[in-house]
Chain A
Amino acid sequence: MPTVDLSKSSLRELNQALHDIKPGSNETSWEVVNPKGSHSVAVGVDQPVSVDVRGSVGYYCAGMNNGGTITVHGSAGPGVAENMMSGTVVVKGDASQYAGATGRGGLLVIEGNASSRCGISMKGINIVVHGNIGHMSAFMAQSGSLVVLGDAGDALGDSIYEAKLFVRGKVKSLGADCVKKKMHPKHIERLQKLLDAAGVKDVKPEEFTRYGSARTLYNFNIDNADAY
């Protein structure tokens, strides 16, 4: 297993080594030690390799991940897994703002809490947060699912499009055009798959409430001006 010690190697050396991995390479398991809050750790990974980061990271860890399995054994700063295309990112601790922002695919699991704007402008990513999420989460969320085992802060799902939100705890307030929706069997099934994928046990999909778009703001109408 290649190990990169960020107290000895530079960030550039780490990311270049990850980018240089060729399809079919045997070096599929990587370890990063001493990240000490470094920004942009393991960004732009483009191969199905696993990267275990032993410690906490700064901004944009696993940014634009495309197929990698990246685990942060600590907490993550803002924008973890931003614009992820595919693969899996797991944060064992807490995550700061904009977790999973604009993500297009893959699975982001945050085993602690996530701060504000979790899943902002998400475009297909699935996000499972074991704890709570902060305000303005899923703002302008386009597609994908955001699953929250704890509570959600103010203005959840403001100006949401077609993303699906599942919250087990309380929601402090809903944003513009975001409404509570009925859980149909297909949603139960979808949620169960996400919980299984995220390694969540002893929690049933029926314990969640679904939220999504009322679709009243999809086309500009002056009569809706008060909603903005």
Chain B
Amino acid sequence: MTYKNPPTTPRKSATFDDYTLSEIRRAAATGIYDIRGSGAKRKLPHFDDLLFLGASISRYPLEGYRERCDTSVVLGTRFAKKPLELKIPITIAGMSFGSLSGPAKEALGRGANAAGTSTTTGDGGMTEEERGHSKTLVYQYLPSRYGMNPRDLRRADAIEVVVGQGAKPGGGGMLLGQKISDRVANMRNLPKGIDQRSACRHPDWTGPDDLEIKILEIREITDWEKPIFIKVGGARPYYDTALAVKAGADVVVLDGMQGGTAATQEVFIEHVGQPTLACIRPAVQALQDLGMHRKVQLIVSGGIRNGADVAKALALGADAVSIGTAALVALGDNDPRWEAEYNELGTTAGAYDDWHEGRDPAGITTQDPELMKRLDPVAAGRRLANYLKVMTLETQTIARACGKNDVHNLEPEDLCALTVEAAAMAQVPLAGTSWIPGKGGF
């Protein structure tokens, strides 16, 4: 009988994992970097790393289903004659017609209306579908200025000057030629079928001093009626927030790196910008230092998924949150019912992110007339409304458990962190201690 040495179990590198190896092979075969939609997919410190403490002897809770817990929020109270009054602190983020189909934009409007909140246009201008179906519509003022005109500016309910977005702070965009239908081409003043670049910088202002003058112009054109939002990616949240306030914003929209995009380079999405969790406290600090917290409203976006995330963002000082990716999932994006077709595209339900290619089996991120028919805007709008209702109820559940009669009364003192990283970023104590990294304690 011969003795065999016991074999060593094959061991894969944590550094060169399966995804990394596949990406090296793909790059070597094609010579092109990977472009995809969605936001950062890597594991990041996030709201899951925080917990609410709940009520105890020193704090008493409110009765669920009985005692009132307000969720309404008013956006744009600083300068605008007509601030937005929303029933819930969850808005729908900017997503472009072009990137999304007309029925998808309609569904977002229907869902938001039913829930009492706002939707937002995107690069490409305002469509009749979204204006007609959105009671409260925020009109994005983007570097490309595709579709920009004074009539739409005046029939918007608020105007969002987009400086950056969380998935790609410092980056522009590109809508590939295959998604440029006659209608999209016409709205963007470009020939059909060619790639349409969205610039990374505004064409007629540079820096915060110019931005202040640009905002003055927009206010003058709209007779100071509309709230002006400034949207920034999660780059330098303290200074970006402070400069947005200085430039005259009514509302600051802060989008962390988990926030989605229609398309950009994978390397950009995963390696530029800060996690949403890391952005909130510096932004709130800037508002507090300027004496503008709750006077200039803060909307946080990037990876908001449920009422717990909403409650945590509000507790850290936000006035509202915004959802994009989650809203698309509620409409039907990445639904396993289309698994066979996802497989044909070389992916699987839950991982599909080639939103820029226009072949979305769910019929949402496409301009293909046949695929578009798959989305019933009425039914999809109802799903979004249901989802928003659940998120709101969840937020209220947590707020009541912490003894708050308004979800905006949640505060950092209601939270603890599960990890040292999250404790440092959110500036709340590590669970079981009074230690906030960088703030003393033990």
Cα A162 to Cα B188 in complex, Å, equals 12
Q: Is the CB of B203 within 8 A of A121?
A: yes
Q: Is the CB of A101 within 8 A of B204?
A: yes
Q: Which residues of A contact B224 (CB under 8 A)?
A: 12
Q: Do A39 and B216 form a contact, CB below 8 Å, given A82-B204, A121-B203?
A: yes
The segment out of A24-32, A40-48, A127-135, A178-186 that lies at the interface is: A40-48
The segment out of B147-155, B331-339, B357-365, B380-388 that lies at the interface is: B147-155
Q: Is the CB of B203 within 8 A of A117?
A: yes
Q: Do A162 and B145 form a contact, CB below 8 Å, given A40-B220, A58-B213, A59-B213?
A: no
Please count how many residues in chain A sit with their CB below 8 Å of the partner chain's CB atoms.
42
How many pairs of A and B residues are in contact by the CB < 8 Å rule? 101
Q: Is the CB of B197 within 8 A of A43?
A: no
Please count how many residues in chain B sit with their CB below 8 Å of the partner chain's CB atoms.
34
Q: Do A143 and B149 form a contact, CB below 8 Å, given A39-B217, A117-B203?
A: no
Q: Which residues of A contact B191 (CB under 8 A)?
A: 161-162
Q: Which residues of A contact B220 (CB under 8 A)?
A: 11-12, 15, 40, 43-44
Q: Is the CB of A85 within 8 A of B203?
A: no
User: Is residue A55 contacting chain B, with contact meaning CB distance below 8 A?
Assistant: no
Q: Which residues of B contact A66 (CB under 8 A)?
A: 150
Interface mask (A83-106 → B, CB under 8 Å = 1, otherwise 0): 101000000000001100110100
Q: Is the CB of B223 within 8 A of A16?
A: yes
User: Is residue B28 contacting chain A, with contact meaning CB distance below 8 A?
Assistant: no
Q: Is the CB of A220 within 8 A of B176?
A: yes
In this complex, what residue of A is CB-closest to B33? A222
Q: How far is the CB of B80 from chain A (nearest CB, A)?
A: 14
Interface mask (A141-174 → B, CB under 8 Å = 1, otherwise 0): 0110000000000000001011000000000000
The binding surface of chain B is classed by DSSP as: loop
Cα A103 to Cα B217 in complex, Å, equals 15
User: Is residue A7 contacting chain B, with contact meaning CB distance below 8 A?
Assistant: no
Chain B contacts with A in 112-165, Cβ cutoff 8 A: 144-145, 148-150, 153
In this complex, what residue of A is CB-closest to B191? A162
Q: Is the CB of A43 within 8 A of B221?
A: yes
Q: Is the CB of B203 within 8 A of A98?
A: yes
Contact pick for A60, options B174, B177, B213, CB 8 Å: B213
Q: Do A142 and B190 form a contact, CB below 8 Å, given A117-B203, A121-B145, A219-B195?
A: yes
Q: Is the CB of A218 within 8 A of B195?
A: yes
Sampled A-B contacts (22; CB under 8 Å): A12-B220, A12-B224, A15-B221, A39-B217, A40-B216, A43-B221, A60-B204, A60-B213, A60-B214, A63-B221, A64-B153, A64-B221, A79-B205, A102-B148, A104-B189, A120-B203, A121-B199, A121-B203, A124-B189, A140-B197, A159-B197, A162-B191
Q: State the B residues within 8 Å of A (CB).
A: 30-32, 144-145, 148-150, 153, 174, 176-177, 188-191, 193-195, 197, 199, 203-205, 210, 213-214, 216-217, 220-224
